Structure formats: structure tokens, C-alpha cells
Amino acid sequence: MLRILHDTKIDFIKSWRLAVGVTIAFIAIGLVGLILHGGLNRSIEFTGGTLMQLEFAQPPNVGELRATVDAAGFRGAEIQQFGNNREFTVRAAGHATGANAQVQNTATQIRSALDQKYGAGNVRVIREEIVGPRVGEELSRNAMIAILISLGITMVYLAFRFEWRFGVAAVIATGHDLLSTLAFLAIMRLEVSLTVVAALLTVIGYSLNDTIIIFDRVRENLKKARPEPLYDVLNRSINETLPRSILTHATVAAATLSLLIFAGEVIRPFSWIMLFGIVTGTFSSIYIAAPVLLWVERKWPRSKGGKEGPSARSASGPAPRPSSPRTPVGAR
Amino acid sequence: MSNLKWRLALIGVLVLVSAWALFPRNVKVRQRRADGTFFDTTTYRVPLRKGLDLSGGMHLALEVDDSKGVVADKSEAIDRALKVVRTRIEGLGVSETVIEKAGSDRILVEIPGIDDRERAIKMAQDQAFLEFQITDKTNGLEKALPRLDALAREKGFGGAAASAASTVPSASTGLGGLLTTGKDTTKTAAATKSDSAKADSTKSDTTALATTGGPISKLIMAGSMPGQFAIEREHFDALKTFFESPDVQKVLPPGKVVRFGNDSTVLGGKNYRFLYLLDERPIITGEYLTEAKPNQSPIDGTVVEFGLSNEGGRRFQRETAKHVRDYMAIVLDKVVMGAPPVINSAIGTRGQIAMGQGRDLQAAQDLALVLKAGALPVPLRVAEVRNIGPSLGRDSINKALTAGAIAIVMIVGIMLVYYRFSGLLAVGGLALYVLYTLAALAGFDAVLTLPGLAGFILSIGIAVDANVLIFERIREELDRGKTVRTSIDDGFRHAMSAIVDSNVTTILTAMVLYQFGTGAVKGFAVTLIAGIAASMITSIFVVKTFYLLWLNRSRGAQTLSI
């Protein structure tokens, strides 16, 4: 039988400081970028405004296109090539205001300006999204609520199925994934649309999945008769699940890569986030969830009465240290 | 043994049910002929619904427009408006439209494959409040003109006043033209039904108008019937804005309202629009309307013929009997439709609305449809429009299918190379996974969107995770020196907790997504949930059955290809 990384004994957790340092640096870079760019590059679903995807019969001159849109009264509209050189998106932030103004006015004006310039039939509007400001606000709020609620529910479920320490560790690891994915979004300047929010939530689910697979092993190993420090249990569990991790990540990466390469421009931000999600999800399961679990264990050692011996009296600091006989944290 | 048969039977039933759910069938589709009537056709296709981003089409979000007055209970108003919008949109004859309430104060409308954006928006949004109002006979506007002029000066009837000053001569010549050709105007403006006997009184009023000379009276000329006034097209917008301000309403005689007409006329090379002063109280409203149909009339052009209910008919008869030889304006959403006809005698249950010259039959069809569906209880405004061309949708499907095919080939390759025979069993399970998931989507009538399709492809990659977990466990058990049969049993048993816990958390996340997402994201969540359920069934139950089948065939197998 073909085996990859079978029966390894790598001390993963030893280098947690380095790993945490790297991820904090990455998130910091992302956040600085975020501040420099003045926030996330949010799609008009969130900001409100008008987006038009245009298909030209002939590749147009971008400067000319910009001039046409400017002349129609939408100075500062964002114009981007989308896929091939005959397709462009026009993004106008504002829309007509006033008591009777309808949100669709902007699109109609741009449309007629383009028809005049290029001749009707030479430019086709193949996608059009017009969103009022209130809808956008509501969406942003709903997206935030969705993420918070899903994290809350997960924590409760894990507290029920495992115990609260695992829930806390898993949720902190997931929070890390959220932050690092946001940093990734900022660095890549990806447009945050509703689809991207869906991808973000998928990343959360996937990362949790990964963490839970390892925690399941930890739970099982803790039940074994041989008392072992939690540090060692964690390391052993990560090593034991390593072949599974490699294989699953390989198949998911295969699906994600083919989406990224072949599924076209519309779904590309989704694919990028999923690809990054595989990396950060794997990383956080090992280097965030496990150290946090160790830390929580030290801070609030479990005391289940008679069944276990006196546990973790020597808990001295938040930082988990390599196994030493003085820290018999785990259960029997 | 019997256990195995039972398992195989269950899988067989699931496959049959899935195949049945996905089998191409006749789907009834409503279509519209060129002349506006409908017919039902059946098409033969797989019953999977495509979202707007794949089929192309329009997504609209409508919300209560409270800019013109506070709406007390928006949620209740939306419920009533929903019924009206649904009747209208379904009347368009496009199949598989979605019209639903979203949140407490919004209506979502999804129309696949529509090409005329403005028309669809108009259909959804027109309030269609029909009123029949008698034109003013008391020279109310003429009497109010000095006050209107004063108000206009006070408000600085800005650019319009300035431009009016420069066009004074032309205005007065236009006026002269109107006066001298009074009888012609009557014919043009009020069509054949108007009564020229009224022209005399009109004439004298018009003279009074001209002498006032204020900013408003300069622009307004008496028309051919009491309460009708002609204005030059170039001043139309300015005057409309002026008369819509609430201050103006206070200056007008009590019980009267100003409305503008949709009709226009050309006189002496100039284009005129009409303004009306009407009795505020309608003699009847559109709520009594029972039928409406478009027609072409040689005299009036495109018209909508309507019929009233018995009660409405009685009321209409009573009211019109009181107003013989008066002019009755037909007002739709505060716009006077065509030239008000004179009431020659009491009218019963039938009548017609003139659409004005040069309007095509489709406009009349839409109006008839809107009138029949009834008026919207509250004005609605468009909060969101999303329009996707059909070519983009087709392109998206093709690209997603390519990506999906390549993903499947790669995943199958990985599984076969790494797990050999067991990998083959997993691939068999994966095939059933795809079948079950699609069937579940068809069964729940879920909408397949582009993110949903991407999520589905992704889920194929994630679906093998359960198999991988089980296979790795079996390997561990084999390493401990257990027999093949025991290893398989123990492997499945030990992997179970990890599979259940990890999948349940994902389902919980997907459910939150479904709750808070809209449109495409909702579709994504449904695909995800269906995928996870199918994945658990295939990896835990189907692949286990395959193993049992294999063990049964090769009794006492000492090795397992895994």
C-alpha cells in the first residue's frame, strides 16, 4: 500500500511561537494594507451603486470608454477589464438622488451614453447590478451576524460534544482564519461580494472540520489508559491524522484549483479564498487550535473529581511548554 | 447475509428514487404569443431549476416608497402589494418567476430570461390607481392664478420665469393662435367626443388669463373644455415641479386638484401638453374594475376597454347621470389618460381608456394587465436591480462544467492511485454521491446558482474526506494485526465520531448561511447541505456495503487493497 508520511513523530507544537509570529505578521500586513486602502474593496452589493458588465463587438480603447462614462456624468466610475479584452465592468458608486429618483437611473444614463458613442448593438450590457444604499447596509450587517452566529453555534455544539475548552480553542482558531483571510483579501485586493462571504463561511466550515478531526483524535487519545501530558497527546494526534490531512487537502485543492483555472472570472474570487482557506485552515488547526487548547488547559485545568488525579497544579503561565514531568495536564 | 441484501435493496431504492427525481420530464411552460395572449407549452427537460445568474434574467427588489407619506404598517402593506405584484408579473407569461416577500418590507421579483428591463420594472412598480374625476367647471384655476403668480414669484420660479420672460411675445402669439382657432383646438385636444358648445365660455376665460401676466399665467392657456389648460412642452417639467409642491395645493380652491395629461398636441408648430383642474373626489375608482383588455380603435387609437362590477356599474351610472355634459378625466396614477370625454348620458358598466396617439398595443396590454391585477396599496420603489444577460449565464455554465469535469478526474486519480481497490469503492460511492445530491436539489426544487455550482464541485473534493478518514482508520487497524473483516468493521466504527462531528458543524454553518443569505448565497447553502447529507450516506453506508459485498464474495480474504 502507498503511504505518505506514515507513522511520523514530528514535534509540531514546538515551533508554535515561530508560527504564531508569522501569522501575526501576515495579518498585520493585511490590516495595514486595509487601512492604507481605506477599507475592504467591497462590491456594490454592499456599498450600493451601479455595476455594469459590458461586452463590446470590437476591443475598445479604455481611455475612450472612460471619457464616455465621464461625459455621461459619472466621473470617478471604476472601469476594469473583465476576462478578455472585449469585456469590461463599469462601477459607479453613486446613484441619482432626490425625492423621485429611482436607483436604475444611473444605468440607463450610462447605457444611452454608450449607445451613442459606440452605436447601438456594438456594445451589449450582459450584466447589470443596481443596489440602493439601504440594501447594502443591511447586507453588511447580515453577513456579520451570519458569521458571529455560526461561530456561536459551533462553540455550543463543541462544548456539548467535546467540552468547552475544545470549543474555545476551535473558535479562536476559526477567528484566526477569518482574520488571516481578511488580510489575504486586503493583500490581493479581491472584491468582497456576497459570493465571497459565502466562500469565507465555507472556509470557516472547512477549517473547523479540520480542527475537529484532530480534536476527535485528542479526545480518543485522552481516554486511553496511559497518562500522557496534553502536549504529547496533541502532537501524537496531529501526527496520526497527518496522512488523512494530506489526502483530503489534496482532493479539495484539486477541486479548488480547477475552479480557479477553468470556472471563469465571475467565480474567481471565490476560488482564491477557498485556496487560501485550505492553507490557513490546516495551519490554524495545528498551530492555533492546539496551543490555545494547551493554554486554556493550563489556565483552567480540568478537575473532574476522583476519576482523575490532582491535575495541573503546576500551571504557571499561559504559554504551553514542551512536555515535562511537572505538567501532567491530560486526563487518564 | 440478509443484512447485506437489505443494504443493497436500500441503495437500489435510493438510486431509483434519485433517477426518477432527475429523469427528464414534461414541464409546463407558459408563453406569450405576439398578440399578447397566452398559451401553455410543455418542454422536455431535466427538472433542475437554474438561478438567474445561470439562466440570465432580472432580479428586482421593491420596497415601500415612503417619501410621499408615511406608511404605518409596512409589513402589512407589503403583504397586500405582494399579491398585486404577483398577479401582474405572472401575467407577463414568463415561466418560473419568483415573487416573494423578503424581510419585513421588501418584495423580491425574479424573472428569468426577460429582455426588456424598463418594461418589467414598470409592470412591477406602477401603482395603477385608477380614478374617474370630473373636470372643474368653476374657473377655479383662473381665480387662483393671481395667488399662484404671487407664490411663484415668492418661490423664485427661477429659470423658468426668466426663460418665460424672453418668450413672452411667442407665448402671446401662441395664445392668439389658440383663441382664433378655438374650434380647431377643441377638435384636436378633446378628440371627437368633446363638445364644441363649451368653446365660447373657454374663449372669454382665456382672455382673462392673458391679461394677468404673472410668471404662471404667462405659461398657461385655456384649453378646449372647462378645467383643461394647454402648456408648451418646454415649460412642462418646470410647471409640473411647481404644481407638485404642497404650498400650491393650499392656494388652489378647496376640493380641487391639479393633474397633468399624458397626451400632447401640436398647434402652430408648437408642442403642447395639458394640465387639468379636477374635482378631488373621484366619482369612481379602479376597485370596481372587473375586466380590462387592449384594443385598437380607428377613432381613439390604442385603447384599453374595461368593464365594471354590477355594484360599480350602478354607482357609475348614478354619478354620471349627475354629470351629463360634464367632462370626465380618466386618471391613472395621477396622470390624466388621453383627452377627457364628455358625458353625453349616464354610462353603465363599460368604458374605455385612450392611451394617447402613437402608443403601441403592448403598452395597452400591459396597462390592461396592471388594471386587472388591481392597484398597489402603497407606492413601491426599486431598491435593487440585477440583470444578467443569457449569454453570460450560458458561458458560466459551460465553464463550471469544464472545471467540474477536470476536478472529478483529478480526485478520482488521487483516490485510485493512493487507495487502489478501496479507492475504486470510494469512487463508486462518489458517483452515487453526485447522483443523490443532484436528486436532492431537484427534489427540494432548489435553485442552482453559479456559487452553488462552485460549491457543489468543491463538495466533491470534500466528500472524499469521510472515505479518507475511514480508510486511514482501516489501515491503522490492519497495522495492529487485526483480520481484514475486523479491521473494516473497527475502521468504520472509529471514524464515525470524527465524521459526524465535523459534518454537523458544517451543516450548522450552512443553515446560518441559508437563514441570512439571499438569492445566490441561499442556493449555495442548500447545495452545501444536500452535499453533506449525501456524502455521509455514501461514505458511511454505501461504501460499507461495497466492502461487505466484497468480503462476501472472497471469503477469508487475507489482504485488502487499500
Q: Give the mean pLDDT of B171-189.
A: 36
Return the domain boundaries, chain A.
Answer: 13-39+136-307, 49-131
The residue with greater pLDDT, B36 or A253, is A253
CB-CB contact of B381 with A101 (8 Å):
no
Task: Please state, in angstroms and rounded to a whole number, the distance separating the CA atoms of residues A199 and A269.
Answer: 9
State pLDDT tens for residues B355-390.
Answer: 766 667 777 777 787 777 777 777 888 888 888 887
* pLDDT given for residue B418 in this prediction: 92
* pLDDT given for residue A10 in this prediction: 87
Angstrom CA distances, B385 to A44, A49, A50, A97, A104, stand at 11, 10, 9, 16, 7
Angstrom CA distances, B470 to A285, B426, B439, B540, B543, stand at 20, 10, 25, 8, 10
* pLDDT given for residue B453 in this prediction: 85
The residue with greater pLDDT, B156 or A38, is A38
State pLDDT tens for residues B448-467.
Answer: 888 888 888 888 888 899 99
Task: Please state, in angstroms and rounded to a whole number, the distance separating the CA atoms of residues A158 and A268.
Answer: 33
Record: fold of B2-22+389-553: Multidrug efflux transporter AcrB transmembrane fold (1.20.1640)
* pLDDT given for residue B69 in this prediction: 64
Judge: domain A49-131, CATH 1.20.1250.20.
Answer: no
Task: Give the nearest partner residue to B509 out of A150, A158, A274, using CB atoms.
Answer: A150
Q: Which has the closest alpha carbon to B143: B277, B328, B339? A: B277
Q: Which of A156-160, B83-87, B346-350 has the lowest mean pLDDT?
A: B346-350
Query: Is the minimum CB–CB distance between A280 and chain B shorter than 8 Å?
Result: no
- Partnered with residue B303 across adjacent β-strands are B295, B354
Grid coordinates 475544545 are at which residue?
Answer: A166
Interface test with B, best of A252, A260, A270, A273 (most B CBs within 10 A): A252
Q: Which has the closest alpha carbon to B72: B374, B378, B334? A: B378
Q: Give the ipTM.
A: 0.80
| Residue B128, C-beta contacts closer than 8 angstroms, at least 6 positions apart | B84, B286, B332, B333, B370, B371, B373, B374, B375, B376
Task: Please state, in angstroms and rounded to a whole number, the distance separating the CA atoms of residues A24 and A22.
Answer: 6
Q: Is the pLDDT of residue B474 over 90?
A: yes
CB-CB contact of B337 with B262 (8 Å):
yes
Could A198 and B513 be called an inter-chain contact, meaning their C-beta atoms sit closer than 8 Å? yes
The pLDDT-based confidence of B95 (bands split at 50, 70, 90) is: low
Q: Give the mean pLDDT of B68-75.
A: 70
A125 CB neighbours in chain B (<8 A) are: 387, 389
Could B469 and A213 be called an inter-chain contact, meaning their C-beta atoms sit closer than 8 Å? yes
Task: Give the nearest partner residue to B399 out of A202, A204, A264, using CB atoms.
Answer: A264
* pLDDT given for residue B184 in this prediction: 36
B418 CB neighbours in chain A (<8 A) are: 2, 4, 247
Q: For A212, name the nearest residue in chain B, comparing CA atoms only.
A: B502
Q: Is the pLDDT of residue A116 over 50?
A: yes
The conformational region for residue B159 under phi > 0 = left, psi -120 to 50 = alpha, else beta, is alpha
Could B472 and A244 be called an inter-chain contact, meaning their C-beta atoms sit closer than 8 Å? yes
Q: Is the pLDDT of residue A164 over 70?
A: yes
Return the domain boundaries, chain B.
Answer: 2-22+389-553, 25-126+381-387, 128-360
- Partnered with residue B44 across adjacent β-strands are B26
Q: Is the pLDDT of residue B415 over 90?
A: yes
CB-CB contact of B222 with B209 (8 Å):
yes
Could B517 and A146 be called an inter-chain contact, meaning their C-beta atoms sit closer than 8 Å? yes
* pLDDT given for residue A22 in this prediction: 94
* pLDDT given for residue A258 in this prediction: 95
State pLDDT tens for residues B476-516.
Answer: 999 999 999 999 999 999 999 999 988 888 888 888 878 87
Task: Please state, in angstroms and rounded to a whole number, the distance separating the CA atoms of residues A88 and A95.
Answer: 20
Instruction: Give the gap in angstroms from C-alpha B526 to the nearest C-alpha of chain A.
Output: 12
Q: For A46, name the nearest residue in chain B, comparing CA atoms only.
A: B384
Q: For A150, name the nearest residue in chain B, comparing CA atoms only.
A: B509
Q: Is the pLDDT of residue B305 over 60?
A: yes
The pLDDT-based confidence of B182 (bands split at 50, 70, 90) is: very low
Q: Give the mean pLDDT of B521-533.
A: 79
* pLDDT given for residue A103 in this prediction: 52
Record: fold of A13-39+136-307: Multidrug efflux transporter AcrB transmembrane fold (1.20.1640)
Exposed/middle/buried for residue A332 (C-beta within 10 Å: 0-12, 13-18, 19+)? middle
Angstrom CA distances, A20 to A183, B407, B441, stand at 15, 33, 42
* CB interface of B with A, residues 176-195, below 8 Å: none
Mean pLDDT (chain B, rounded): 78
Judge: domain B25-126+381-387, CATH 3.30.70.3400.
Answer: yes
* CB interface of B with A, residues 301-340, below 8 Å: none
* pLDDT given for residue B209 in this prediction: 53
The residue with greater pLDDT, A58 or B11, is B11
* pLDDT given for residue A313 in this prediction: 39
A195 CB neighbours in chain B (<8 A) are: 450-451, 520-521, 524
Q: For B68, name the nearest residue in chain A, comparing CA atoms only.
A: A99
Query: Is the minimum CB–CB distance between B562 and chain A shorter than 8 Å?
Result: yes
The pLDDT-based confidence of B166 (bands split at 50, 70, 90) is: very low
* CB interface of B with A, residues 215-244, below 8 Å: none
The pLDDT-based confidence of B191 (bands split at 50, 70, 90) is: very low
Task: Give the nearest partner residue to B396 out of A145, A241, A266, using CB atoms.
Answer: A266
Q: Is the pLDDT of residue B21 over 70?
A: yes
Q: Is the pLDDT of residue A319 over 50?
A: no
Query: Is the minimum CB–CB distance between A97 and chain B shorter than 8 Å?
Result: no
Q: Is the pLDDT of residue A36 over 80?
A: yes
The residue with greater pLDDT, B359 or B295, is B295
Q: Which of A320-324, B55-59, B487-491 has the lowest mean pLDDT?
A: A320-324
What is the layout of strands, in order, in the sheet containing B335-336? Answer: B220-222, B228-232, B270-279, B256-267, B335-336, B328-332, B130-134, B284-285
Q: For B469, name the nearest residue in chain A, comparing CA atoms only.
A: A244
* CB interface of B with A, residues 87-116, below 8 Å: 103
Phi and psi at residue B68, to the nearest 5°: -105, 15
State pLDDT tens for residues A215-258.
Answer: 999 999 988 867 788 899 999 999 999 999 999 999 999 999 99
Mean pLDDT (chain A, rounded): 80
* pLDDT given for residue B196 in this prediction: 37
Exposed/middle/buried for residue B446 (C-beta within 10 Å: 0-12, 13-18, 19+)? buried
The pLDDT-based confidence of B416 (bands split at 50, 70, 90) is: very high
* pLDDT given for residue B176 in this prediction: 37
Q: Is the pLDDT of residue B121 over 60?
A: yes
Residue B89: enclosing H or E segment and its boundaries?
helix B74-91
* pLDDT given for residue A250 in this prediction: 92
The residue with greater pLDDT, B111 or B90, is B111
Angstrom CA distances, B139 to B178, B228, B279, B334, stand at 18, 10, 12, 21
What share of chain A in percent tops pLDDT 70?
84
Q: Is the pLDDT of residue B32 over 90?
A: no
B502 CB neighbours in chain A (<8 A) are: 208-209, 212-213, 216
State pLDDT tens for residues B122-142.
Answer: 777 777 788 888 888 888 888
* pLDDT given for residue A306 in this prediction: 38
Could B400 and A194 be called an inter-chain contact, meaning their C-beta atoms sit closer than 8 Å? no
Could B404 and A258 be called an inter-chain contact, meaning their C-beta atoms sit closer than 8 Å? yes
Q: Is the pLDDT of residue B198 over 70?
A: no
The pLDDT-based confidence of B475 (bands split at 50, 70, 90) is: very high
Q: Is the pLDDT of residue B526 over 60?
A: yes
Task: Please state, in angstroms and rounded to a whole number, the distance separating the CA atoms of residues B160 and B150.
Answer: 15
* pLDDT given for residue B472 in this prediction: 92
The pLDDT-based confidence of B519 (bands split at 50, 70, 90) is: low
